[in-house]
């Protein structure tokens, strides 16, 4: 009995020695690493691939539109921008020419000549509006002044030949500036491009109704609307007109394909188009880049 009481007292919680808790360590179990979230890297890779695909498509479209006819067309934005730059340069030359009271008369005269040259750069491209031909402008600027000088000196003895020649050339230059394409508006530039299309695609002189000519004229108007919609992205009315012109051009080219397959592919090459652009589905563009 005494032995049992001693053994029972030894097993009570008060007399129990606290043993350190042992942690089980599994040395043979493979603990997998935590999987990282690669969603951000996947999105960046996807965006880079889309940007590269868009760049390749733009490069392919640029090579496709590198034709003789499309390169001969005049863009109103670039034309008027070059004219504004010339005016700005002329204004800078003018301010430099007349600033400072200590400038000599020789330097002032040379600076004034540079200012006049800057003004003349505004309309010297050789392109004219209102269907005016370069030969007609040459007639006005070269032959007419001589005839005017001859008439003035024949009827009046008080007119000096040098002054008369100078005045006649000034008047001829004024007329040339009036009919210059740089001093016209964007609608005149569109008419100039349409005349180029009639000349390039007409099968005979005065031809304005053949399928090639009509497709070329609509291409000119489409390019003009593209330039407009790149700047005015919310012009939904002109976007609808742009889509209608695309459908009209496709319809005319499909008619040309039924008439002559050789003329059809030649027209596509000159206009910078592919078969898919004409025979595929034409959707209304949300934005023109």
Instruction: Please name the residue ranges forming H helices in 65-155.
Output: 68-72, 76-98, 105-120, 134-138, 144-155
Give the pLDDT band (50/70/90) at residue 109. Answer: low
pLDDT at 108 over 60: no
For residues 289 and 282, give the distance between their C-alpha atoms in angstroms, rounded to a whole number. 17
Mean pLDDT on 193-208:
90
Beta bridge partners of 180: 128
Contacts 24+ apart (CB under 8 A), 193-196: 193/73, 193/74, 193/220, 193/224, 194/220, 195/131, 196/69, 196/72, 196/73
pLDDT at 121 over 50: no
Mean pLDDT on 111-124:
52
pLDDT in tens, 225-253: 998 998 888 888 999 999 999 999 999 99
Q: Which residue has the higher pLDDT, 36 or 179?
A: 179
- For helices 261-271 and 236-259, angle between their N-to-C axes, nearest 10 degrees: 150
pLDDT confidence of residue 285:
75
pLDDT at 255 over 90: yes
Percent of the chain at pLDDT exceeding 70: 67
| Cβ atoms of 186 and 76 closer than 8 Å | yes
pTM for the structure as a whole: 0.67
In angstroms, how far is the first alpha carbon of the chain from the final one? 103
Q: Which residue from 75, 77, 69 is spatially nearest to 197, judged by alpha carbons?
A: 69
Beta bridge partners of 128: 180
Q: Which residue from 269, 170, 176 is spatially nearest to 219, judged by alpha carbons?
A: 269
pLDDT confidence of residue 1:
55
Helix (H, G, I), strand (E, B) or coil at 180: strand
pLDDT at 113 over 60: no
Mean pLDDT on 1-16:
55
């Amino acid at each position: 009995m005494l032995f049992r009481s001693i053994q029972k007292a030894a097993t009570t919680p008060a007399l129990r020695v606290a043993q350190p808790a042992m942690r089980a360590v599994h040395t043979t179990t493979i603990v997998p690493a935590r999987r990282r979230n690669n969603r951000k890297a996947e999105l960046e890779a996807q965006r880079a691939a889309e940007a590269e695909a868009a760049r390749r498509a733009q490069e392919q479209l640029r090579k496709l539109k590198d034709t003789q006819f499309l390169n001969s067309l005049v863009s109103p934005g670039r034309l008027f921008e070059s004219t504004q730059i010339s005016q700005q340069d002329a204004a800078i030359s003018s301010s430099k020419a007349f600033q400072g009271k200590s400038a000599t008369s020789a330097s002032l005269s040379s600076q004034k000549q540079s200012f006049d040259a800057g003004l003349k750069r505004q309309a010297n491209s050789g392109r004219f509006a209102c269907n005016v031909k370069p030969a007609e402008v040459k007639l006005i600027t070269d032959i007419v002044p001589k005839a005017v000088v001859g008439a003035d000196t024949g009827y009046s003895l008080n007119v000096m030949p040098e002054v008369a020649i100078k005045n006649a050339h000034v008047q001829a230059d004024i007329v040339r500036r009036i009919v210059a394409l740089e001093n016209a508006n964007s609608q005149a530039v569109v008419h100039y491009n349409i005349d180029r299309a009639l000349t390039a695609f007409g099968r005979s002189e005065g031809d304005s109704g053949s399928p090639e000519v009509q497709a070329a004229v609509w291409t000119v108007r489409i390019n003009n609307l593209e330039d407009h919609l790149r700047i005015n992205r919310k012009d939904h009315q002109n976007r609808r007109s742009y889509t209608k012109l695309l459908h009209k051009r496709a319809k005319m080219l499909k008619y040309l394909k039924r008439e002559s397959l050789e003329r059809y592919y030649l027209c596509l090459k000159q206009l910078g188009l592919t078969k898919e652009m004409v025979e595929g589905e034409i959707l209304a563009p949300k934005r023109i880049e």
